Amino acid sequence: MNRPFHGGNLKEASLKYKMGRDEFIDFSANINPLGLSPRIKEALLDSIDLALCYPDPYCDELKREISTHLGTDKENILVGNGSCDLIYLIARTFNPRNCLILIPTFSEYEYAVKISGGSCQFFKLSEEKDFLWKKESVLKRLKGEDLVFICNPNNPTGGLVSKEDLLFTVAEGKKRGATIVVDEAFIDFVEDSDQFTLVREAVSNGNLLVLRSLTKFFALAGLRVGYVVGAKRMIKELEKKQSPWSVNGLAQIAAREALRDQNFAEKTKSYIQQERNYLKERLEEIEGIEPYPAAANFIFCRLTKDGINSSLLAEKLGCQGILIRDCSTFRGLDNRFIRIAVKKREENIKLIAALKDIFGE
């Protein structure tokens, strides 16, 4: 089984197009376009000597910060080396025999389950329904699986499911002996995210785990920090299987400062909302591109012009130093779909200009 493909591979792009990494505008990776906050940068510079020391293996200070941020006990939290690390830990710990995955979605769920010895069943979301789902449809599909992965908002489609539908699925999963994992890696970008997140419900549900990432919203992709929220019993089980020193000391410091920097968080949400709306409106003006409703910091699009598919478009843009995500590598999608990260205004303008040239040919 081949490793899943991801965006953001500037090394590969640099070799392919014979350009320096800093010459690319990377719309293929969904990272905060504002970059690191000044507060995080200052904290990292002040703490650089900690690279000489072993990190706190339990991330106690960071867990306290997260618990304050969420309003939960720190015993309900486990920190990992990015949320992807925790996906593998969940699969390794609960060792599912059969897992249900709603597709198209993040490819690491499938890989993590399969290398842990489990099998996967797939519920393909309908293109006609904008790849969204309702509680009744998942209920009909849930037949004996002991683990279910749900991404909300979903990557790559950007679809957002209501808390009501998610909690119904959790309750039905409990009756059927299934653990539900809700991946909220992009929830911080969502307007009124408190109305959608299940972190508070996770502490009291014995079959619900909620994954959160600091990588995307706080631009910590190179440091890797994520966490999982769940009932204390479930967190203890995960702790038993976690590798020691999973999160390096500088990552722990950066994550603590990130959670304390509410001004930066508010600035990011406002900026993303503004640029997402701008980018979507400009994409809608291009005949041959149909953007879907977007809830996070990226826009999922369908290509409708004859002669242009996702691979060809990615190649044409790549030659100009612009990278997008060709979604044909996602299970459940074909070469009619792309994903575009929301970037800064001047970068978004360059993308739109390049797309207009290509689609006007």
Angle between helices 83-94 and 108-115 (to 10 degrees): 30
Mean local confidence (pLDDT), 167-185: 95
* % of the chain with per-residue pLDDT over 70: 98
Predicted local distance difference test score (pLDDT) of residue 361: 62
Q: Which residues of 328-342 are buried (b: 16+ CB within 10 A; e: fewer)?
A: bbbebbebbbbbbbb
Instruction: Fill in the DSSP letter of residue 214.
Output: S
Predicted local distance difference test score (pLDDT) of residue 1: 65
pLDDT digits (tens, 9 = 90+) for 221-249: 999 999 999 999 999 999 999 999 999 99
Mean local confidence (pLDDT), 245-268: 97
Q: How far is 157 from 276, CA to CA, in rounded Å?
A: 14
Lowest mean pLDDT among 13-17, 239-243, 265-269, 326-330: 13-17
Q: What domains sit in the chain, N to C, each tagged with a CATH number?
A: 10-30+263-359 (3.90.1150.10), 38-260 (3.40.640.10)
Residue 7, pLDDT > 80, answer: no
Residue 280, pLDDT > 80, answer: yes
Residue 75, pLDDT > 70, answer: yes
pLDDT digits (tens, 9 = 90+) for 349-358: 999 999 999 9
Q: How far is 275 from 294, CA to CA, in rounded Å?
A: 12
pLDDT digits (tens, 9 = 90+) for 290-334: 999 999 999 999 999 999 999 999 999 999 999 999 999 999 999
User: Smallest Cα–Cα separation from 79: which of 235, 228, 302?
Assistant: 228
> Quick check: 150 and 184 in contact, CB under 8 A?
no
Predicted local distance difference test score (pLDDT) of residue 99: 97
pLDDT digits (tens, 9 = 90+) for 192-223: 999 999 999 999 999 999 999 999 999 999 99
pLDDT digits (tens, 9 = 90+) for 123-150: 999 999 999 988 888 877 888 899 999 9
Lowest mean pLDDT among 3-17, 106-120, 155-169, 277-291: 3-17
| pTM to 2 decimal places | 0.96
What size, in residues, is the chain?
Answer: 361
Predicted local distance difference test score (pLDDT) of residue 112: 97
Predicted local distance difference test score (pLDDT) of residue 152: 98
Instruction: Fill in the DSSP letter of residue 5.
Output: P
Q: What is the mean pLDDT of the chain?
A: 95
Residue 285, pLDDT > 80, answer: yes
Q: How far is 334 from 327, CA to CA, in rounded Å?
A: 7
Predicted local distance difference test score (pLDDT) of residue 2: 67
* % of the chain with per-residue pLDDT over 90: 89
Predicted local distance difference test score (pLDDT) of residue 142: 84
Pick 15 or 5 by higher pLDDT: 15
